């Protein structure tokens, strides 16, 4: 399991993020948040693996070890905000991956692709007056563990850069950039 201390330390010092929960395996990080007694904003849940990760509609998101599979809770969005949120999140991810030398495009409505191969996806769910945002990013995961139809149209950050990526720093950087984006 990765060392998630940089993320924990960042969340502890943040006025925006409230709690960081990390588990070896979950059915779904979004499902875990949904089942919490209190759906306070700013909760971040990460799993090393998800058994039942979800994409848009009934699509499944395969989540083997080595990827970045996390969800977080938000509040204070207007009914028009989910579309803006998708654009903001995918823009943040696109800029973050560009820092690693990986050029991506947004594949509407909720994915990032590298030359038509999916590298990341986002899912936003309404839960009362709050939102749960789920993100999946193929980082260091082994694509050979995915079903063939998924593997043919997927890529990872490690494949694109030729090196293993520190997932804790990647997540911390995303959370920091999202916090800045949300404040504006």
d(CA 134, CA 172): 16
The top-level CATH class assigned to 5-183 is alpha beta
Residue 75's nearest CA partner among 133, 32, 156 is 133
User: What is the pLDDT, as a whole number, of residue 79?
Assistant: 59
User: What is the pLDDT, as a whole number, of residue 129?
Assistant: 78
- Characterize the bridge pairing of strands 43-50 and 19-26: parallel
Q: What is the pLDDT of residues 162-175, one digit of tens each?
A: 999 999 999 999 99
Whether 100 contacts 167, CB under 8 Å: no
Percent of the chain with pLDDT over 70: 91
The two three-digit tokens of residue 22, written as one number: 């990390």
The two three-digit tokens of residue 162, written as one number: 């030729």
Secondary structure (3-state) at 66: coil
Q: Would you call the peptide bond into 55 cis, given omega within 30 degrees of 0 as the criterion? A: no
Both ends of the chain: CA-CA distance in Å?
34
pTM of the predicted model over 0.95: no
User: What is the pLDDT, as a whole number, of residue 116?
Assistant: 92
Q: Could you tell me the residue ranges of all domains in the chain?
A: 5-183
CA angle 49, 90, 140 (to 5 degrees): 35
Top-confidence residue, 147 or 181 = 181
Q: What is the pLDDT of residues 113-133, one digit of tens each?
A: 999 999 999 999 888 778 899
Strand partners, 126: 131
Most confident of the following: 38-42, 146-150, 179-183 = 179-183
How large is the average pLDDT for residues 55-76? 79
Strand partners, 45: 21, 71
Percent of the chain with pLDDT over 90: 62
d(CA 180, CA 111): 22
Q: What is the pLDDT of residues 8-53, one digit of tens each?
A: 999 999 999 999 999 999 999 999 998 886 778 899 999 999 887 6
d(CA 37, CA 24): 21
């Amino acid at each position: 399991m990765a060392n998630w201390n940089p993320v924990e330390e960042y969340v502890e010092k943040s006025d925006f993020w409230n709690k960081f929960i990390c588990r070896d395996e979950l059915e779904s990080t979004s499902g875990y948040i949904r089942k919490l007694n209190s759906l306070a904003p700013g909760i971040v849940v990460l799993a090393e693996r998800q058994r039942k990760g979800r994409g848009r509609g009934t699509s499944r998101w395969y989540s083997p070890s080595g990827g970045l599979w996390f969800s977080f809770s938000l509040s204070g969005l207007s009914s028009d905000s989910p579309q803006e949120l998708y654009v903001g999140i995918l823009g943040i991810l696109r800029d973050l991956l560009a820092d690693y030398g990986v050029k991506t495009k947004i594949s509407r409505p909720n994915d990032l692709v590298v030359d038509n191969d999916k590298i990341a996806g986002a899912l936003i769910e309404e839960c009362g007056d709050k939102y749960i945002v789920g993100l999946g990013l193929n980082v260091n995961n082994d694509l050979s563990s995915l079903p063939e139809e998924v593997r043919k149209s997927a890529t990872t950050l490690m494949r694109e850069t030729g090196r293993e990526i520190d997932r804790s720093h990647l997540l911390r950087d995303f959370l920091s950039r999202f916090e800045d984006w949300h404040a504006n």
